[in-house]
Structure 1
Amino acid sequence: MHGGNIIRRGRTLKLKALEQQGITSPAAIATIANQGIGQMGGYGQVLGTGGAEQVGLYVWQQALAGWAPLPSPAAQPEARGPAS
């Protein structure tokens, strides 16, 4: 949903909402991904070593970019695999 939240509209991953919650860096997002916050549990074990940091960086970069739609996999030649 491009950083939105269809369940709780006020809880989004958009930059303004993150900053209003005091989340101002990829590291802060990584901590939440790892340990959880409020009713959301952490995903540290599922994400594995370095996974929370990767999630934090991705979410932060997307928030800074305004959650622009990602290109479809078909538009990315390297995602298609070897040619027949």
Structure 2
Amino acid sequence: MQKLLRLILLVLLILTTAFTLPVSAVDTANGTAVFSVHCAGCHINGGNIVRRGKNLKKKALKKYSMDSIEAITSIVTNGKSNMSAYKDRLTEQQIQDVAAYVLEQAEKDWR
């Protein structure tokens, strides 16, 4: 009976490990630091000093389909129009962290 129980537990452990996707932890504290150094010049308090309507507020992010980690990381990485690309200046982790920070702040209305 104990052997059967051990076998079942071993199989469950293997299945759990095999089918669990790795999680990339984001660090919004790091995202805050990255944002203050690289983004706040144009996006202070979630605004946009270059193009007012293209700000980082929840409504604008949704309007321009930028309300996901994937969309924000893409534009931070590759840039678009007046937005500079940061793929050569930031690591992938820093980009993920700042994207998470932007979404978190948009939810809080940048308060």
TM-score, normalised on structure 1? Answer: 0.72
2:74 equivalent to 1:49: no
2:108 equivalent to 1:65: yes
Radius of gyration: which is bigger? 2
The amino acid across from 2:107 in the alignment is L
4+ residue segments displaced more than 3 Å: none
Aligned counterpart, 1:78:
none
Aligned length: 68
Q: Which has the higher helix share?
A: 2
Classify 1:49/1:9 alpha carbon distance in 2 versus 1 (closer, same or farther; 3 Å): closer
Q: Which has the higher strand share?
A: 1
- Superposed CA offset, 1:65-84 (max 9, x none): 1000xxxxxxxxxxxxxxxx
Classify 1:28/1:15 alpha carbon distance in 2 versus 1 (closer, same or farther; 3 Å): same
Query: How far did 1:61 drift?
Result: 0.5
2:57 equivalent to 1:14: yes
2:74 equivalent to 1:31: yes
Question: Which of 69, 79, 83 lines up with 1:40 in the alignment?
Answer: 83
Quote the sequence identity (%).
38
Q: What RMSD over aligned residues (CA atoms) do the two structures have, in Å?
A: 1.3
Tell me which of the two structures has the higher relative contact order, counting C-alpha pairs closer than 8 angstroms and 6 or more residues apart: 2
